[in-house]
Amino acid sequence: MKIFVKKWSQLFSDSYRELRQVKTIAAMGMFGAISVVLGSLTIVIGDYIKIGFSSVAQQFVYYLFGPVAGGFFAGAMDILKYFIKPTGAFFPGWTISAMTAGVLYGCFFYKKPLSIPRVLIAEFTVSVVCNMLLGTLWLTIMYEKAFMALLPVRVIKNLVMWPVNSMLFYTLTWTMEHSGVFRVIRRAKA
């Protein structure tokens, strides 16, 4: 148990140190800009379903800089994207979900080997916790709809997108690792 706690505290303190570097902030800004552009391509299906791929650029931040940097970055991006392209009223629950996803992805990916099982488990965990449970709760609060009435549609959407998002992230991350892009970013901040 002691070793487990030590590993987790080390993971979070390393990520915090990453967040304090100017070059990390610059790289986060670059990925944030890519995320904003990809966010403009989001498909909105009614009030309850959105399909977009801007999170892939954000996942690179979680992968490279960890849970602390990822949580702050995700929260900042959620607020920034709302101001750039508002869709409905601002609700802080979505920012909480985004930050939770950033922390979870950072815990799964930061300083860990990239593998398909790890990506699948991370995507599934974030889908269940942030999208299915928290997201449905926020919609229930915002639209005063029954939680159980909204949940089935959101579960289906997330189960369909789970392998798509997983393979997209794995393929792009593997490609960027093996082409040297991430190596350049890591070296730049060293």
What pLDDT digit, counting tens, does each position of 97-115 carry? 999 999 999 999 999 999 9
**84 and 38 Cβ atoms separated by less than 8 Å:** no
pLDDT confidence of residue 28: 95
Q: Indicate the average pLDDT of the chain.
A: 90
Q: Predicted confidence band at 132 (pLDDT cuts at 50, 70, 90)?
A: very high
pLDDT confidence of residue 114: 95
pLDDT confidence of residue 2: 78
pLDDT confidence of residue 170: 96
Which residue shows structure tokens 């916790």? 129
Interval 25-46: pLDDT, tens: 999 999 999 998 887 777 777 6
Residue 188 CB contacts under 8 Å (≥ 6 apart), including other chains: 23, 27
Mean pLDDT of 91-101: 96
Output the pTM of the full model. 0.89
pLDDT confidence of residue 22: 92
Amino acid 20 reads R
